[in-house]
Amino acid sequence: MTIDLAKTEKSWRDMHRLYLSFVQPRPIAWVSTTCRNGKPNLAPFSFYNMVSANPPVVLFSPAFNRTGDAKDTLANIRETGEFVIATVTEHNANAMNETSTEHPRGVNEFELAGLTPLPATRVRPALVKESPVNIECRMRQIIQLGTENGAGNVVMGDVLVVHVDESVLTAEGTCDPDKLLALGRMGGHLYSRTRDRLEMVSVRDPGKVQK
């Protein structure tokens, strides 16, 4: 199958479903924000990654909703310039799923999903106590990729503070995948666990494992 996007009759939603079926597994950013008056919001986004180590920068992409409006997360970051990203694991997956539905502006997803907000140290949005990893971020840049419903917005954030529960750490100070049990997003309603892994030695540096 070959699809020329300039000629296809498929809708952007059809293509979106196709993209999600091969761009996978995707890490999930569970993003905590507040609006200008301090009301909290929490929502997951699976277009997410770390894109720079020095300086430490993460990005995620909240799309415009079906009416072409900014979702609460994007609107809040535009107002305050701050957010927290929590890691989604097998243990908090159900709560994450509860926060994935679009609710009217002002709904507190922490309360809705039975989650515990904890004060951050340098930003106003709360940490998610039920997540073993939370990173506090300051907005670096927002790139708007379009204006129609479904268009993405690339939010880049400078990492200010990293919170990691010691229960998931190795002796070397990194996260043990067998303790973290992170989840990845697939297509449709599917998610992936990180239990089945493949180790390969880098051909460029035999002394290191290929990441």
Could you say which DSSP state residue 190 is in?
A: -
Residue-level pLDDT at 108: 93
Residue closest to 75 by CA, chosen among 147, 138, 155, 140: 155
For residue 182 the two structure tokens come to: 């992170």
The helix (run of H) or strand (run of E) holding residue 82 is strand 82-87
Place of tokens 């699976």: 46
φ, ψ at 21 (rounded to 5°)? -80, -15
Place of tokens 């079906």: 66
CA dihedral 175, 177, 181, 183 (to 10 degrees): 100
φ, ψ at 132 (rounded to 5°)? -75, -15
Q: Cα dist. 50→40, 60, 193 in Å?
A: 24, 9, 19
Evaluate whether the domain defined by 12-192 bears CATH number 3.40.50.970. Answer: no
Could you say which DSSP state residue 136 is in?
A: E
Q: Are 132 and 87 in contact (CB under 8 A)?
A: yes
What is the CB neighbour count within 10 angstroms for residue 88? 27
In angstroms, rounded to a whole number, what is the distance separating the alpha carbons of residues 84 and 161?
A: 9
> Domain residues of the chain, as ranges?
12-192
Largest CA distance in the chain: 55
pLDDT digit string, tens, across residues 3-20:
989 999 999 889 989 999
Residue-level pLDDT at 143: 96
Q: Cα dist. 180→108, 183, 194 in Å?
A: 26, 9, 9
In angstroms, rounded to a whole number, what is the distance separating the alpha carbons of residues 148 and 113?
A: 30
Residue-level pLDDT at 208: 59
In angstroms, rounded to a whole number, what is the distance separating the alpha carbons of residues 204 and 30?
A: 35
The ranges of the chain with pLDDT < 50 are none
